């Protein structure tokens, strides 16, 4: 059955993949985005299917208006960067914390059924417990991580005080087509693809032995849909990942093989706020919403490389 749906940050990397999937299944979709990090071209071909509201998450009245008549909210909007948060913690905190609170209050006023929120594995920090389990004590190392943890807290608090139901998904290193390699805060996969394809050195922070649980964007989209539909999961906080760790060096070598190019590695000092190892226990997500990653790291990287080389807009 179709639903009236709002996707905040719907012109961004993950949000735009989610929007396309929602349109495909017949939902009536509204997008709220200020286009500070999202791109209109991410929504190419959807003009007749999606209502776009250009507004800032910090503008409460605009968020209320965008949420009116909506029963389900996928809250993807944020400033998604640890380094950016270290440079400008005030803006990161305002967008993520105040923006999330605005979305939750607006959804309650609209009588919304559920809000699915994008959180982050960064909330775990470097607490030494592997794999990361939702029950572990958070130890955030950056303003971005602190803000995501605060957003989770607000979601649980307001859900107990009149709703709507909330589900927080802690994403682990999401990658895929349409992830911007040109941004000063670009994630590692698009940066590596761009550099290797151009025959330039890949910049590796630290020794490259740090592990990450890289997650293909289509699996993240599926997790959102499952979290929106599952019964008895209000208030849940769940990991969403690719299911196995890989080092940054392994990532670079895999991309070199897929691009059939030599990989030149340029090591620079480790970045403040980065954790050494991060990979997820998916037991809770499997049990509570039936989530299972379907895309291997190599398969996801192959889709990403093909999309980057063709310049095509590839749906999730």
Q: Which of 274, 217, 207, 218 lies closest to 247 in space, CA to CA?
A: 207
Please state, in angstroms and rounded to a whole number, the distance separating the CA atoms of residues 126 and 139.
Answer: 7
Residues contacting residue 157 through CB under 8 Å, at least 6 positions apart: none
Residue 159: predicted pLDDT: 86
- With contact defined as beta carbons under 8 Å apart, do 73 and 9 qualify? no
Q: pLDDT tens, 72-94?
A: 999 999 998 888 999 999 999 99
How many structural domains is the chain composed of? 1
Please state, in angstroms and rounded to a whole number, the distance separating the CA atoms of residues 5 and 91.
Answer: 27
Helix-helix angle 248-259:297-310, to 10 degrees: 50
- Segment 244-251 shows an average pLDDT of 93
Residue 126: predicted pLDDT: 84
Least confident of 12-26, 237-251, 262-276, 292-306: 262-276
To the nearest 10°, the Cα dihedral for 215, 221, 225, 231? 20
To which H or E segment does residue 250 belong? helix 248-259
Full domain range(s) for residue 60: 4-172+214-241+279-294
- What's the residue count for the chain? 316
Q: Is residue 271 part of a domain?
A: no
Residue 315: predicted pLDDT: 38
Q: What is the mean pLDDT of the chain?
A: 92
Q: Is residue 209 part of a domain?
A: no
- Segment 40-57 shows an average pLDDT of 95
- Segment 275-295 shows an average pLDDT of 94
Q: pLDDT tens, 201-213?
A: 999 999 999 899 9
Q: Is residue 253 part of a domain?
A: no
Q: pLDDT tens, 92-140?
A: 999 999 999 999 999 999 999 999 999 999 999 987 788 999 999 999 9
Residues contacting residue 90 through CB under 8 Å, at least 6 positions apart: none
Q: Is residue 265 part of a domain?
A: no
We report the CATH number of the domain holding residue 50 as 3.40.50.720
- The more confidently predicted of residues 171 and 187 is 171
């Amino acid at each position: 059955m179709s639903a009236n749906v709002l996707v905040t940050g719907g012109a961004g990397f993950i949000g735009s993949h989610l929007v396309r999937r929602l349109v495909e299944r017949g939902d009536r979709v509204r997008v709220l985005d200020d286009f500070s990090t999202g791109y209109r071209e991410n929504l190419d071909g959807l003009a007749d299917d999606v209502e776009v509201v250009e507004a800032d998450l910090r503008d409460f009245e605009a968020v209320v208006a965008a949420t009116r008549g909506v029963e389900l909210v996928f809250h993807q909007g944020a400033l998604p960067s640890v380094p950016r948060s270290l440079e400008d913690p005030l803006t990161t905190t305002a967008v993520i914390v105040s923006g999330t609170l605005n979305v939750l209050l607006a959804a309650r006023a609209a009588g919304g059924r559920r809000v699915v929120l994008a959180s982050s594995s960064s909330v775990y920090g470097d607490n030494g417990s592997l794999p990361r389990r939702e029950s572990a004590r958070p130890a955030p190392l950056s303003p971005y991580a602190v803000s995501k943890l605060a957003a989770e807290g607000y979601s649980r608090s307001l859900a107990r005080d009149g709703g709507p139901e909330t589900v927080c998904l802690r994403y682990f290193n999401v990658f895929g087509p349409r992830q911007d390699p040109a941004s000063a805060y670009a994630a590692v996969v698009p940066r590596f693809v761009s550099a290797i394809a151009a025959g330039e050195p890949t910049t590796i922070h630290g020794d490259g032995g740090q592990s990450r649980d890289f997650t293909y964007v289509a699996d993240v989209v599926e997790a959102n849909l499952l979290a929106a539909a599952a019964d008895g999961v209000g208030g849940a906080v769940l990991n969403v990942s690719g299911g196995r760790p890989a080092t940054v060096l392994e990532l670079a070598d895999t991309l070199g093989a897929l691009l059939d190019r030599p990989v030149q590695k340029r090591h620079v000092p480790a970045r403040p706020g980065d954790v050494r190892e991060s990979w997820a226990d998916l037991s809770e997500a499997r049990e509570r919403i039936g989530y299972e990653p379907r895309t291997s790291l190599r398969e996801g990287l192959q889709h990403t490389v093909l999309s980057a080389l063709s310049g095509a807009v590839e749906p999730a």
